[in-house]
C-alpha cells in the first residue's frame, strides 16, 4: 500500500540528494564547506532513512551511493585497484553496541576483538609502491577514481619515498597504502598568520588547509606547507601477509610508515566504549584535530567473512564526537567593556547546540577580525566550539545572504559610561579611556578577588555588580572596609553569608607579592609575569621605581608588559590606592621574605631542590594532583614552568596519556620524570 505522504517524501528525498551533492562538491572538491559537519550528518542520516523505507527512491546517483566527489579536472586521474570506501557513522554507545551485535551475529561468535584509532580530520590518500619505490599517489576522489598527486606527496616528509626492508629483507612487490594527510593545529595557526600577512584568504580549518595544500598544481608550493601523514590500512597488496589489522599496522611500521600512537588493539566491546570516552577526554591535548574514533574488527579472516556493502565495510564503523561546529544566525553584535577598558564585540547568536552545549554568544575579538572575515549582523555563520574554549565565529556563509545584513560599526563612545574611546597605536584594541568607568571597575574587582588574586571566597560576580552599582565600591581599597551590615543589605544576602564574606576578606589581607601583582590586573601581566617580576625585584618598593629597560631585560618578559607595569606605577592614583589598601590592613609579603621564611623552616644543611633553576614542562594527566597544583609546587621549589618543549627544557613531567611533548622531549634527550618520581621529589622539597 502506497504511503499517503509518498509524494511529499519523494520531494524531500530529491531535495536532500540535490543539496548533499552540492555540499559534497563544496567540501571535497572546492574545500569550501558552507554548512557544518553536524548539519551534513543529519541530512545524510535522514536521506538514508527515507531510502531504506522507500528503496525505489534510492537512485544510482544518490549521495548515499557515493564516497567523496568528482575529482578536479585540472589533475590527471587514475583508478584505485580496490574502492576507497567511507565508513558508516555512529553517534552514541547504543549504536556501537548494535554494530557489535550485527558483527557477532554474522560471525556466529561474541568473542570479537577490535582495533581503534583516532578519526583524523584530514584528506584520505593512497600511496602505491612497486618494488619498494613510490610510483603513484592518489586522493580518494569519488572512491573509484582519484586525482594523481604523486609529486605533491613526495614533498611530505613522513611519506617514505622508498620502503625500509624488514628483518627478513622481503619488500612487497606491489603495495597500496592508505592514510590521512593532516596539518597539526599549531602549524595551521602559523600557516594562517603567514597568509594573513600576504593578504591571502585564510583556510577555514586544518582539514581544508591540508586539502588545499595537497591539491596545488605546483608541488613547490606544497613543499612549503607543513603536511604530515598517518597510515591506517592497505588497498591491493602483493607479498604482504597479515592475520590481523593490528599485525598489518605493525608490518607497515617496519616498512617505514607513520602509525598513529593513539591506536589501541585487542579491545573488547566494553574496552572500546571506555577508550572512546578516554579519547574524547584527551582530544584537546592532541596536536591535531580529530572528530571521532574508528572501530575495526581486528581479525582479517573475520573482515573477509563480513565483507562490504555498497559504500562501506561491514567490519568497521566511525564513532563520531558530538558536533563541534554548527550553522546559526548572528541576531546582533553587542560591545562588552573589559577590566582594562578594551571594547570587545560579541555576536548574539540564534541559540544552537554545539557538542552538547547550548551556545548563544561568541566573541568577535576586535574590529579588525570582523572586517577581515566580513561578518555582518543577520549573517548566517559557522560557529566552532572546541572543548571548553569560548565559541568563535569561523566565517559567514555568504551564499545565504539576503541583502538584509548590516555592517557593524564600532562605537566611538563607551556603551557603559559614554566616554570617548580610542584605538591604541599598533594595536587592534579600542579602549574606553575613562578610569572610573563602572564596567571596567566591576571586571577589575572580579579579577582582584579571584582565587589567583586575593581569593575572597563568597564575593561572586553578582555581589560585586551590586556593590559597584550602589556606589559602595569605587576601588580595590574599598573592599577592605566592607562590613557585615552593608553586605547583609545586598540582594540574596543574609547575616550568615555576609559574615562569611567579611571573614574571607579578613583572611585575605596577608598576601604574597606575586598574588598581589596579579590581582592589580595590569595589562599583559598574568601569573607567570607576576612571578618573574617578584624574582627580579623581590620587593614592591623596588618594583615601583623599576624602568622599562630593567623589566624588559628579564628573560621571558616582553616590552608590552614592561611598559604596562611602569605606566601603572607612574600613576599617582594607583600608588594612593595601594597606600589606602595598606592603611586598611593589607600586608604585602615581599618575595625575599618568603624565601627567607622557607629557608628558616628548612634548617641548615638542607640540599637545594632538584628543580631549582630548572626549566620544567608538564604534559599528560596527573592523578594525585592537578596540573595547576604541580606547577605551583614546582615554582615554589625554584623551577621555571613553561608550556612547550625545547632544547632549553631540563625536565619533562609526563602524566597519563602524554603525547607529542613526550616524543619531542625524548628526541631532544630531555630528562623525563613520571608522576611517582615527581611526587617523591616534591616531598623531598
Helix (H) or strand (E) holding 543: helix 540-544
Own/partner pairs for 164-173, CB < 8 Å, 24+ apart? 164/254, 164/255, 164/256, 165/132, 166/251, 166/254, 166/255, 167/254, 170/239, 171/131, 171/132, 171/239, 171/255, 172/129, 172/132, 172/237, 172/238, 172/239, 172/240, 172/255, 173/130, 173/131, 173/238, 173/239
CB atoms within 10 A of CB 227: 25
Residues in CB range of 493: below 8 A, 6 or more apart? 463, 487
Beta bridge partners of 319: 90, 293
**What gap in Å lies between CA 558 and CA 561, rounded to an integer?**
6
Alpha helices in 255-396 (DSSP H): 269-282, 300-306, 367-373
Beta strands in 338-468 (DSSP E): 343-354, 357-363, 376-377, 380-384, 392-396, 406-407, 421-423, 430-432
Contact 260, 107 (CB under 8 A): no
Strand duo 587-589 + 392-396: pairing: unpaired
Q: Which are the catalytic amino acids?
A: 119
Query: What's phi and psi for 665, nearest 5 deg?
Result: -60, -45
E strand or H helix at 182, and its extent?
Answer: strand 174-182
Helix (H) or strand (E) holding 495: helix 495-507
DSSP SS3 for 238: strand
Rg (C-alpha) for the chain, rounded Å, is 30
- Contact yes or no for 179/156 (Cβ under 8 A): no
Please state the φ and ψ torsions of residue 17, each to the nearest 5 degrees.
-60, -45
Tell me the three state secondary structure of residue 86: coil
As a whole number of angstroms, the distance between CA 46 and CA 100 comes to: 23
Distance CA 657, CA 458 (A): 36
* Contact residues for 634 (Cβ-Cβ < 8 A; gap 6+): 611, 616, 641, 682
Amino acid at each position: 500500500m502506497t504511503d499517503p505522504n509518498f509524494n511529499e517524501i519523494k520531494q524531500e528525498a530529491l531535495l536532500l540528494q540535490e543539496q548533499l551533492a552540492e555540499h559534497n562538491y563544496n567540501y571535497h572538491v572546492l574545500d569550501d564547506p558552507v554548512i557544518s559537519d553536524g548539519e551534513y550528518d543529519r541530512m545524510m542520516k535522514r536521506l538514508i532513512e527515507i531510502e531504506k523505507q522507500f528503496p525505489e527512491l534510492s537512485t544510482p546517483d544518490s549521495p548515499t551511493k557515493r564516497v567523496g566527489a568528482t575529482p578536479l579536472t585540472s589533475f590527471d586521474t587514475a583508478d584505485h585497484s580496490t574502492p576507497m570506501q567511507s565508513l558508516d557513522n555512529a553517534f552514541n554507545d547504543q549504536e556501537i553496541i548494535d554494530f557489535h551485535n550485527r558483527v557477532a551475529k554474522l560471525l556466529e561468535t561474541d568473542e570479537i576483538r577490535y582495533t581503534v584509532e583516532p578519526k583524523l580530520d584530514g584528506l584520505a590518500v593512497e600511496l602505491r609502491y612497486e618494488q619498494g619505490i613510490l610510483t603513484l599517489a592518489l586522493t580518494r576522489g569519488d572512491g573509484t577514481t582519484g586525482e594523481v598527486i604523486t609529486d605533491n606527496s613526495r614533498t611530505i616528509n613522513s611519506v617514505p619515498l622508498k620502503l625500509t626492508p624488514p628483518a627478513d629483507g622481503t619488500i612487497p612487490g606491489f603495495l597500496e597504502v592508505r592514510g590521512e594527510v593532516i596539518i597539526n593545529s599549531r602549524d595551521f595557526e602559523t600557516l594562517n598568520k603567514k597568509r594573513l600577512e600576504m593578504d591571502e584568504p585564510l583556510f577555514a580549518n586544518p582539514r581544508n588547509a591540508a586539502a588545499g595544500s595537497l591539491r596545488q598544481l605546483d608541488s613547490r608550493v606544497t613543499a612549503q606547507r607543513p603536511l604530515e601523514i598517518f597510515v591506517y590500512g592497505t588497498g591491493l597488496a602483493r607479498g604482504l601477509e597479515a592475520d590481523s589489522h593490528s599485525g598489518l599496522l605493525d608490518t607497515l611500521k617496519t616498512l617505514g610508515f607513520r602509525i598513529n600512537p593513539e591506536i589501541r588493539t585487542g579491545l573488547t566491546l566494553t574496552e572500546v566504549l571506555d577508550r572512546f570516552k578516554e579519547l574524547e577526554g584527551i582530544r584537546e591535548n592532541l596536536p591535531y584535530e580529530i572528530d571521532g574514533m574508528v572501530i575495526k574488527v581486528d581479525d582479517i579472516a573475520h573482515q573477509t567473512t563480513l565483507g562490504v556493502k555498497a559504500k562501506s565495510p561491514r567490519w568497521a564503523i566511525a564513532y563520531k564526537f558530538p558536533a563541534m561546529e554548527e550553522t546559526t544566525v548572528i541576531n546582533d553584535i553587542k560591545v562588552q567593556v573589559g577590566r582594562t577598558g578594551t571594547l570587545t564585540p560579541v555576536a548574539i547568536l540564534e541559540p544552537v547546540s554545539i557538542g552538547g552545549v547550548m551556545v548563544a554568544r561568541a566573541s568577535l575579538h576586535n574590529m579588525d577580525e570582523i572586517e577581515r572575515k566580513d561578518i555582518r549582523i543577520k549573517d548566517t555563520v559557522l560557529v566552532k566550539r572546541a572543548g571548553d574554549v569560548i565559541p568563535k565565529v569561523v566565517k559567514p556563509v555568504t551564499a545565504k545572504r539576503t541583502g538584509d545584513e548590516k555592517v557593524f560599526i564600532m562605537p566611538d563612545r563607551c556603551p557603559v559610561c559614554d566616554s570617548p574611546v580610542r584605538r591604541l597605536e599598533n594595536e587592534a584594541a579600542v579602549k574606553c579611556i575613562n578610569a572610573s568607568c563602572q564596567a571596567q571597575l566591576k571586571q577589575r574587582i572580579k579579577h582582584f578577588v579571584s582565587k589567583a588574586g586575593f581569593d575572597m571566597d563568597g564575593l561572586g560576580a553578582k555581589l560585586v555588580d551590586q556593590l559597584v552599582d550602589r556606589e559602595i565600591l569605587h576601588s580595590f581599597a574599598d573592599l577592605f572596609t566592607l562590613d557585615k551590615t552593608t553586605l547583609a543589605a545586598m540582594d540574596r544576602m543574609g547575616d550568615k553569608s555576609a559574615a562569611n564574606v567579611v571573614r574571607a576578606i579578613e583572611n585575605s589581607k596577608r598576601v604574597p607579592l606575586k598574588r598581589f601583582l596579579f590581582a592589580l590586573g595590569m595589562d599583559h601581566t598574568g601569573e607567570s609575569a607576576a612571578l618573574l617580576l617578584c624574582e627580579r625585584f623581590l620587593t614592591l618598593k623596588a618594583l615601583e621605581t623599576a624602568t622599562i629597560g630593567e623589566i624588559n631585560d628579564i628573560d621571558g618578559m616582553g616590552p608590552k608588559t614592561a611598559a604596562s607595569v611602569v605606566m601603572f606605577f607612574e600613576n599617582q592614583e594607583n600608588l594612593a590606592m595601594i597606600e589606602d589598601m595598606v592603611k586598611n590592613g593589607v600586608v604585602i609579603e615581599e618575595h625575599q621574605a618568603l624565601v627567607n621564611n622557607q629557608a628558616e623552616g628548612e634548617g641548615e644543611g638542607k640540599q637545594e631542590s632538584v628543580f631549582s633553576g630548572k626549566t620544567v614542562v608538564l604534559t599528560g594527566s596527573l592523578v594525585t594532583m592537578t596540573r595547576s597544583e604541580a606547577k605551583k609546587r614546582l615554582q615554589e621549589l625554584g623551577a621555571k614552568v613553561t608550556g612547550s618543549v625545547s632544547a632549553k627544557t631540563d625536565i619533562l613531567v609526563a602524566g597519563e596519556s602524554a603525547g607529542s611533548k613526550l616524543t619531542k622531549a625524548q628526541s631532544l634527550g630531555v630528562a623525563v620524570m613520571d608522576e611517582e618520581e615527581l611526587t617523591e621529589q616534591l616531598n623531598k622539597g
